[in-house]
Amino acid sequence: MDDTQLTAFLKGLLDEPGLSGHEGPIRERMRQAWDPLLDEITQSRLGSLHGRKRGRGRGSRPSILIAAHMDTVGLMVQQVVGGFLQVTPVGWLDPRILPGQAVMVHGRRDFPGLLVAPPVPLLAPEREGEEAVRFEDLWVDTGLLSLESAKLVRPGDLITFTQPPFEMGDGLLAGKSLDDRAGLAALTLCLEELQSRTHTWDVVVVATSQEEENFAGARTSSFEIHPDLAVAVDVTFAAGPPGQPEHRVFPLGGGVTLGWGPTIHSGLFRQFEQAALRAEVPYFTEVMPRHTQSDADAMQVTAEGIPTMLVSIPLRYMHTPLELVALRDIRRAGRLLAEFCVGLDNGFLQRLSLE
């Protein structure tokens, strides 16, 4: 894919809803994209999509699992009061940035709504002078009469953001759900490159479900596939407005990050460094002294344990209705993954050791 095709592909992914536990539309989109690039496609019991590209090795081949999550954050209806819907988050969201957002309510039929909060002067007296927005303040104005709302919406119905994606600056794309549709695009680019390159190992790509809530897709898919190695592909915090802690953010468009911490297999980290040098992919070390807060945490401790790596794409404004990513970083992630897969030979596991 050239940049025009990659942009169109990403915009198509962003158009699909897919809140945690309800990934059907984006799963079908990924099935269509991956079908020509794989030897087999299956679906797990929890809704993750598995695809296998067989290697050229003889006999029982080792396998590497590369996962990016397809679910995204959004809202769920808690109660219907007249023409208004009280909401609760699906995944983590910052309520400060939500008032005024256009949304789509997925009830008996889809219809638009407006996410609103009461003006500060109309809050309860004990909150006088309070500027912060709480989730209990947030409602969706349906623009419908009470009876219409009651017919169309029930508690538990889903609500998604509707901000359309758009291009910015030099190869930047803004839009909702780039966490982690950017990772899915990187996996697709990796598979495209592997069409013309020989690899010994089987490469298994997984679009995981429920990452934003409980990592259930990654945990169960890793158990079912039982790979020899696992790699999570996700997003990380890109540097944005001044005032952010410099040690926690990475340049937008400056390269990918390689996770380093107890979740990450140290020997695998070194091998990814070498692959990045071979592929001429700029990278940064992302220090993660505790959990990675990604699918990597679940994959590492599946079954008897899987040597696991995390590759991340810098992203601004994570978990908001409008995120920002650089296409060149997505390309770099895809190229790095393909280079690493090509470098896996029959003796790789014997040489792999913890530092």
Domain check: are 125 and 212 in the same one?
no
Distances (CA, A) of 321 to 115, 136, 145: 12, 19, 27
Residue 287, H or E segment: strand 283-287
Q: What is the pLDDT along the chain (355 residues), one digit of tens a residue?
A: 899 999 999 999 999 999 999 999 999 999 999 999 999 999 999 999 999 999 997 778 999 999 999 999 999 999 999 889 999 999 999 888 899 999 999 999 999 999 998 877 777 776 666 667 788 889 999 988 877 888 899 999 999 999 999 999 889 999 999 999 999 999 999 999 999 999 999 999 999 999 999 999 999 999 999 999 999 999 999 998 988 888 889 999 999 999 999 999 999 999 999 999 999 999 999 999 999 999 999 999 999 999 999 999 999 999 999 999 999 999 999 999 999 999 999 999 999 998 7
Residue 185 identity (one-letter amino acid)? A
Domain check: are 218 and 347 in the same one?
yes
Domain check: are 68 and 106 in the same one?
no
Asked if residue 203 is part of any domain, the answer here is yes
Closest CA to 159 of 115, 124, 200, 123: 115
Asked if residue 171 is part of any domain, the answer here is no
Count the alpha carbons within 13 Å of 40 in the hemisphere toward its beta carbon. 8
Residue ending a domain, choose from 161, 187, 219: 161
Asked if residue 233 is part of any domain, the answer here is yes
DSSP state of 38: -
Domain check: are 199 and 335 in the same one?
yes
Domain check: are 190 and 324 in the same one?
yes
Pairing verdict, β 283-287 and 102-106? unpaired
Domain check: are 139 and 21 in the same one?
no
Containing domain of residue 191, as a range?
3-72+176-351
Domain check: are 155 and 96 in the same one?
yes
Domain check: are 201 and 344 in the same one?
yes
Based on the structure, what is the number of domains in the chain? 2
Q: Which residue has the tokens 């839009």?
A: 175
Burial class (CB in 10 A: 0-12, 13-18, 19+), 166: exposed
Domain check: are 95 and 30 in the same one?
no
